[in-house]
Structure 1
Amino acid sequence: MQLNEHNLIKMQNIIKEHQFEHAADYLIEHTQQGIRLSKKGAEDYARPCHSRIGGDPDLPEETEWPLTSDGTPMTFLAQLQLRDVAAHDATVSLPLGGMLYFFIGVDEPAYNIEHRVLYLTEDQTAAAVRRRAPEETTLEEEFTGYRIEARATLEPPNYAYVDDEIVEDEEHDFESYEDLCHQLTGLESDDIATIFGYPSTQHGDCEHEAALMLLTGSEYNYSMEAAMQQITDHCGGNAERAQQEIRDTLLLLAIDSDDDVGFCWWDAGELQFYIRKEDLMAGNFERTYCSLYSS
């Protein structure tokens, strides 16, 4: 999606400040409009239905706790007050109100992780109160709840997605590019999650993995070419439409490892949720994909 006018001007100014004019067109085309979530203090549960990560969720009494396929209660990860979060959504694709909840099953293996993304409208959450987690959930660890706050960001391609040959030249190495990236994202030490933008990975193939499963129900075999062929076949041989499906596979939420909350995804990695653009625009969170990246 194209940058809006405000973000385009901001992007141009930062590019000029860091003297990256040689890569300006590339960066403007490939930088995405995202949302960062940062911790704003330990949760005291005095006020329900604001954005929170870890701890316990606020749920209406009639809402059942999500279970895995074998009947085990899933572990709660985060809740997002969309009235607040969507105010920072330059893509205008998130619902403007209601609550979004993220639950996870066992995080092993690292692909096609059983999970649940639950969306409740403002009317449904009007009577929501703190719901204590069941005594045993899929993850054994107990996670400390933190209030979180959203802000709009610009998300340039990270090391797995960027074209090094375009951004680097005789005067600009990758460290210089990272400095530019940090200013675009406004990176803060309390950042813990990201909506939209680029996931952490080594190979830049996360969207291929997610799209393959969401579209065809097939598991990824770590070949982008094979995945594209399967998606192209699913699209009736239309390669251009298959490429668009990859572009329309969006990072709904990436949750980082964090000592304060107690999240540690394998070797201090990142937990990632994906959704198809058409489902997001329709407010349909029943079809999502979850995977884990660890270096």
Structure 2
Amino acid sequence: MLSKNNLNQLERIVHEYQFEHALEYFKETIRQGIRLSKKEIETYNEIGFSRVGGDPDLPAMVDWPVNSDGTPMTFLAQLRLNELVPYDVSTLLPAKGMLYFFIGIDEPAYGIEHKVIYLTEDKLQEARRCASPEVTALEDVFTGYRVNARSTMEPPNYGYVDYDIVEDDEHDYEQYEELCFELNDENSSDLAVMFGYPSTQHGDCEYEAALHLLTGQKYNYSMDSALEQIADYFKGDSDRAKQEVQDTLLLLALDSDQDVGFCWWDAGELQFYIRKEDLLAGNFANTYCSLYSS
């Protein structure tokens, strides 16, 4: 549900772009997101701030995660939660601590080996810069950037939008995109988004993630089939299955970025998913990672 401030802003922007015909649709489908943008190259003079790329700050008691063949995973990001909470309009994240994101080899594009680590605030007291192993799964070196967070409204993108609603005789998709850019204040410094819509062509990412998180089964590119399999997991409860898909959240989407050095296949997007139930419980042991590239 949109906050009062965001609702007022939405109504103002919709009126400015003359999209009143789709206002109720926007109210129902816009997600409250958090965007992360590049602030400055990390100097490591200070420990424990949100960072994308580079090296993590880890306590000595935390082992560097490895993939199934024993190769050290590649570090992607650390997010200090007290920096994000002021922008977490939906109050989904833990109030304090740090989230770390690591990845194994990014092939195939689904079920990618990865690790999300959550450390509580007390464990961060002993955190120090931890240099990446000489060889990691991706064999790439990423430049570390300090990041800024901001709260955003995330409307459905091209894979999720209902074209029949937003387009009419006077409005085309390009005009809808302009409205979207205004709503989420997108800029060239953006590196990542939390809780928005993943980049995709088919609008089925949450089906794939929910199916894997609940059953461990591989998605066969049929939303109906995925719902049936999830319903079977819940002893035939189709309503629960639909709710589980709805409650499968985009924990983090990392865009390709030349400055950092991220390039997910053909300049795509790396995506991490989590069940809302696990997120609210502070359980990051059960997540899903996939990749989208056009």
User: In the TM superposition, what whole-angstrom CA distance separates every residue of 1:53-83 from its partner, at most 9, and x where no partner exists?
Assistant: 0000000111110111221110000000100
Give the superposition deviation at 1:12: 1.1
Which range moved further: 285-294 or 218-227?
218-227
Matches within 5 A, 1:83-162: 83-162=82-161
- Counterpart in 2 of 1:230? 229
Residue 65 (structure 1) aligned with residue 64 (structure 2): yes
The equivalent of 1:37 in structure 2 is: 36
Q: Which residue of 2 aligns with 1:74?
A: 73
Structure 1: 5+ residue stretches without partners: none
SS in 1 for 2:123: coil
**1:77-127 CA distances to partner (integer Å, 9 max, x unpaired)?**
000010011110001010111100000001000000010000001110112
Cross-structure match for 2:238: 239
Which residue is equivalent to 1:22?
A: 21
Matching residue's letter, 2:120 = T
Partner of 2:170: 171
CA distance in 2 between counterparts of 1:249 and 1:208 reads 8
Secondary structure in 2 matching 1:26: helix
| Distance in 2 separating the partners of 1:83 and 1:194 | 17
Q: Does 2:207 correspond to 1:208?
A: yes
Q: Which amino acid aligns with 1:273?
A: F
CA deviations 1:230-273 (Å, max 9, x no partner) are 11111221211111001000000000000000000000000000
Matched residue, 1:55: 54
Partners of 1:129 and 1:149 lie apart in 2 by: 21
Q: What is the SS of the residue equivalent to 1:126?
A: helix
Query: What residue ranges of structure 2 are gaps of 5+ in the alignment?
Result: none
- Rounded to whole Å, the distance in 1 between the matches of 2:169 and 2:275 is 39
Paired with 2:66 and 2:85, the residues of 1 have a C-alpha distance of: 28
Deviates more, 1:231-240 or 1:154-163: 231-240
1:262 partnered with 2:261: yes
Q: Distance in 2 between the 1:125 and 1:69 partners? A: 27
Secondary structure of the residue that 1:215 maps to in structure 2? Answer: helix
Partner of 2:285: 286
- Which TM-score applies when normalising by structure 1? 0.99
- Tell me the SS of whatever aligns to 1:69: coil
Amino acid at match of 2:262: F
> What's the offset of the Cα at 1:14?
1.0
Larger deviation: 73-82 or 218-227?
Answer: 218-227
State the distance in 1 between where 2:121 and 2:228 align: 42
Where does residue 9 of structure 1 map in the other structure? 8
TM norm structure 2: 0.99
Q: Where does structure 1 differ by over 4 angstroms across 4 or more consecutive aligned residues? A: none
Q: SS of 2:60's equivalent?
A: coil
Deviation at 1:11, TM superposition (A): 1.0
Q: Corresponding residue for 2:187?
A: 188
Q: After TM superposition, give the deviation of residue 176 of structure 1 in Å.
A: 0.6
Per-residue deviation, 1:10: 1.2
1:197-221 deviations in Å (ceiling 9; x for gaps): 1000010010000000001110111
Alignment-derived partner of residue 197 in structure 1: 196
Q: How many aligned positions are there?
A: 294
SS of match in other structure, 1:78: strand
Residue 188 of structure 1, CA deviation: 1.1
**Counterpart check, 1:221 vs 2:220:** yes
Q: Which amino acid aligns with 2:46?
A: R
**What is the CA–CA distance in structure 2 between the aligned matches of 1:144 and 1:71, rounded to whole Å?**
24
Output the CA distance in 2 between the equivalents of 1:201 and 1:129.
Answer: 37
The alignment's C-alpha RMSD in Å is: 0.7
